[in-house]
Amino acid sequence: MRWRAATVAFLLLVAMNGWADGEGASRLQTLTPRVLRIGTYFVNPPFEYLAEGKRVGFEVDLMNGVAGRLRLRPVFIDTKWEVILRQMEDHDYDCIVGGITITRARQEKLAWSDPYMTTTLSLVVNSAKTPQIRSLADLKEATVGVQAATTDYDAALAMRRRGEIKGVEVYPFDRIGNAMTDLIAGRITAVLKVYPVAAWLTRRSPDLRIVAQVSNDPQPLGIGMEKNNPVLLGAVNGALSDMKHDGTYARLAREWGVP
């Protein structure tokens, strides 16, 4: 896309200008001077994924923009969702992203940026195999796939306890792509996932549809950091605020189809 190429070029230009003037970066405490080590996992479109071997995604562009404004060179480290939070606690990165929901439990262990977006969980079904499912209430004696150790999984269990989804088996997958594969094959009834990921994946399969949103469980997404680095936290929040005020965030959101 012409706009995407222009956006990436702009972000890189900002970053390059910033790296050349290291005065701001010298005031920030990072693991490596003038470098922002970003932990993430590239199996999470549209936030982060691999396209023809290249690391792309909304948060890739977002963090390139943040790093550039902080006069830091962004370095993305590919890891796994199952370990990324613990690795951040162990100081393996300066920050982490990955469409990560800010929760009270996570706030006890890490510092979090201001939410850059608040989204909802979406219910995805295979309309060719289960056209009768049009809402959460239609999920009876069904199997719902979720990604393990996520707020999606916690929300599904909570809805089952409250009786909002009755007689439902909640089945955890290690990768959301595996859940979608089983949904397409008809091995599970539905998948619960945050809207940006759900929308991205359903656009790539004609039989998949989003039929409901879990509106009473908002999902604020943010950037995780160490608790003992308030200067970096403030700088990241300032960069995010600037990107929202000057229109950069809105342009990236439109390009990647996120809120």
CATH number of 2-116+222-256: 3.40.190.10
pLDDT for residue 12 is more than 90: no
**What pLDDT is attached to residue 237?**
99
**207 C-beta neighbours (distance < 10 Å), count:** 13
Residue type, 79: T
List the strands of the sheet with 169-173, edge to edge.
Answer: 169-173, 143-147, 190-194, 117-126, 208-221
Looking at residue 16, its pLDDT comes to 40
8 Å CB contact between 122 and 192? yes
Q: What percent of the chain has pLDDT over 90?
A: 86
**With the CA atoms of 214, 197, 114 and 80 taken in that order, what torsion angle do they form, in degrees rounded to the nearest 10?**
120
* Mean pLDDT across 107-113: 99
- pLDDT for the residue 14: 45
Question: Strands 117-126 and 208-221: what pairing?
Answer: antiparallel
Q: What pLDDT score does 166 carry?
A: 87
All CATH 3.40.190.10 domain ranges of the chain, comma separated, are: 2-116+222-256, 119-219
**How confident is the prediction for the chain on average, in pLDDT?**
92
What is the spatial distance between Cα 256 and Cα 259, in angstroms, rounded to a whole number?
9
pTM of the predicted structure, to 2 decimals: 0.89
For 29, residues 6+ apart whose C-beta sits below 8 A from its C-beta are: 229, 231, 232
Residue 84 pLDDT = 98
Q: How far apart are CA 25 and CA 157, in angstroms?
A: 44
Options 3.40.190.10, 3.50.50.60, 3.30.200.210, 3.40.50.300; CATH for 119-219 is: 3.40.190.10
* Whether residue 63 has pLDDT greater than 90: yes
